[in-house]
Amino acid sequence: MPKPVVDHFGLLSPLYERLIRPPDPAQLETLMALQPGQRLLDVGGGTGRVTQIFSAVPAEITLLDPSFGMLQQAKAKVCCHPLRSSAEHIPFKSGVYDRILAVDSFHHFWDQATAAAELVRVLAPGGRLVIEEPDIRRFAVKLVALGERLTLMRSRFFAPEALAALFRATGAQVQLHTPDAVVNFWAVIEKP
pLDDT tens for 119-145 read 999 999 999 999 999 999 999 999 989
pLDDT at 36 over 80: yes
pLDDT tens-place string over residues 155-185: 899 999 999 999 999 999 999 999 877 899 9
Distance of CA 79 to the CA centre of its chain: 16
Q: How far is the C-alpha of 60 from the C-alpha of 79, rounded, in Å?
A: 10
Which run of H or E residues covers position 174? strand 173-177
List the single range of 48-57, 69-78, 88-97, 140-149 with lowest mean pLDDT. Answer: 69-78
What pairing do the DSSP bridges indicate for beta strands 184-190 and 123-134?
antiparallel
pLDDT at 1 over 50: no
Edge-to-edge order in the sheet of strand 60-65: 81-84, 60-65, 39-43, 97-103, 123-134, 184-190, 173-177
